[in-house]
Structure 1
């Protein structure tokens, strides 16, 4: 006899973190169409060609990573769920990763010409360092164990994005491209929850392993992070050497690599802490959002109110434990 199909019951929660994460993510729901990106055009026109090239191509790289997460990452993680509610949370994350990817196209549409947009995507789809990390992560999604997939996802969410996030946060710290940065801060807020939640699910499975298997997996984890950092270092030099930011970006990356390990319940790999990061960028992370009321024009039944203020606790942890 065919096994009965089981309806999801949110009144019987196996893991309270599933419900808390669902509620936090739905409270945070946003769309790029509600942010007045055209208000940044004056700032954009005052930038030199090096800065404009950097912004456009950094966002091309971020688009690729969000595409990996939305098209392959969450579907891979959903194969190994512990609860039905967990799959619902992954469905939410999968959709928001698509929102993130689309948001960059909204930025391109506002700031760039059609020819520039075509060049950005051609470059993104052929850049050796971007393609290497996308294929490395997706290879784990396709062939890795359930816990390896979660490690790859957390490294992408909490580490690999940050070579791109540095740029808009830097400009925000100088009061430039503030609406573009508003989108990035909303993405950051989502990613902090995604990384924390998936890291929590990893820890549940990791703690069930025998000590010998834990040590083996930890070795695999740190080797992967080292390989990703090596590639990210090359990508950072390619993108930032001309503008002179490479060493500052690499410090930011190492800091966030440690955050990824923290989400996975592991010890840091690098000595870099928050005090080592460019304070302008850290200020960009912790500055309050502009409190756009995204849904005031679509009816009270669909009004979510203002964007909540983002602070360092949101950035660091994303989900109250």
Structure 2
């Protein structure tokens, strides 16, 4: 958006709010601020070394490498692309906040890798991410839209990434959380989930504003493009999921979780769900873990995330109804 008016550079004025949801989202995101360095990931080393098989450790490493790739995409290209289409300065500020937290998310996975693995393993895992055909397909598909799409197409791509594509990776730590394993790693993921809940609903809300300004024909054309994109991403995601989870027999459960979250992504944008899957179809252990409440496992030092963040809950989707 233009930052000058009659030759003057315009200062952001938070006392003049064009959209109350910009202010509410800014306040929510700043209340939720956290850093990975305050979570005692090393407390999970016993679980990692003694309770998880090598196949399970490989799975954790690969899903986190995939999540790192997607969060890097969001922080380096996604939010910059969306910010170019912001309609006011407060929206730009919110997107700046989101961009920074996506960098925090990506860095958090490196903290997990560094705590649990040796350097050779970390290098191998990142090589896997950089060359995996299914992971690279979805990253490049989304990035191409960020580079060449319309403002509304870019918002669709971002919501699909935030609210759908991340979840093939989130399933693993939530599953272990439900079985009382890797609790501190899971706390990092729950903090990321809490952020992504706000990111997806906020950008979906901004999509709805623009979508309502289109003619009926333009809406129908964009909806056709949106569902075609989702089908394409879903087909690729099933291949990625099978590659990751077939060995442990989890693929069908993860697929239900993905379809459920694909519907949530569509609903964030005010669209009808595509798949029949509901929360009742998802593994209840994982659904329990997806709760955005936090816990404090570091009772002695008092620096766990529950202590630092206080009682902060993600914004409800209904907050973004327009």
Residue pairs, 1:8-47, within 5 angstroms: 8-46=12-50, 47=52
Give, in angstroms, the shift of residue 195 of structure 1: 0.3
Give, in angstroms, the shift of residue 152 of structure 1: 0.1
Kept in 2, the 8 Å contact 1:168–1:184? The answer is: yes
Give, in angstroms, the shift of residue 285 of structure 1: 1.4
Aligned length: 312
Kept in 2, the 8 Å contact 1:70–1:95? The answer is: yes
In structure 2, the residue matched to 1:133 is 138
In structure 1, the residue matched to 2:311 is 308
Name structure 1 gaps, 5 residues minimum.
298-303
TM-score calculated relative to the size of structure 1? 0.93
In structure 1, the residue matched to 2:178 is 173
Kept in 1, the 8 Å contact 2:28–2:315? The answer is: no
1:317 and 2:317 are equivalent in the alignment: yes
User: Which of 111, 114, 121 is the matching residue for 2:119?
Assistant: 114
Q: CA RMSD in A?
A: 2.0
Give, in angstroms, the shift of residue 4 of structure 1: 1.9
In structure 2, the residue matched to 1:262 is 267
The secondary structure found in structure 1 opposite 2:11 is coil
Alignment deviations for residues 265-317 of structure 1 (CA, whole Å, 9 cap, x no partner): 00000000000000010111127421479x988xxxxxx9434365xxx4873
Name structure 2 gaps, 5 residues minimum.
none
1:213 and 2:215 are equivalent in the alignment: no
Alignment deviations for residues 133-168 of structure 1 (CA, whole Å, 9 cap, x no partner): 000000000000000000000000000000000000
The secondary structure found in structure 2 opposite 1:9 is coil
Kept in 2, the 8 Å contact 1:18–1:89? The answer is: yes
Distance 1:287 1:158, change over 3 A: closer
1:185 and 2:198 are equivalent in the alignment: no
> C-alpha distance in 1, partners of 2:188/2:315?
14
> C-alpha distance in 2, partners of 1:241/1:82?
45
The secondary structure found in structure 2 opposite 1:53 is helix
The secondary structure found in structure 2 opposite 1:60 is helix
Distance 1:316 1:236, change over 3 A: farther
The secondary structure found in structure 2 opposite 1:125 is helix
Distance 1:6 1:315, change over 3 A: closer
> C-alpha distance in 2, partners of 1:266/1:122?
37
Kept in 2, the 8 Å contact 1:193–1:318? The answer is: no
> C-alpha distance in 2, partners of 1:8/1:286?
35
> C-alpha distance in 1, partners of 2:311/2:268?
23
Kept in 2, the 8 Å contact 1:197–1:319? The answer is: no
> C-alpha distance in 2, partners of 1:222/1:88?
30
User: Which of 57, 62, 75 is the matching residue for 2:62?
Assistant: 57
Deviating beyond 4 angstroms after TM superposition, the runs of 4 or more aligned structure 1 residues are 318-321
Alignment deviations for residues 84-115 of structure 1 (CA, whole Å, 9 cap, x no partner): 10000000000000000000000000001110
> C-alpha distance in 2, partners of 1:188/1:43?
22
Distance 1:232 1:33, change over 3 A: same
Distance 1:163 1:320, change over 3 A: same
> C-alpha distance in 1, partners of 2:85/2:217?
22
1:235 and 2:233 are equivalent in the alignment: no
Higher alpha-carbon deviation: 117-126 or 284-293: 284-293
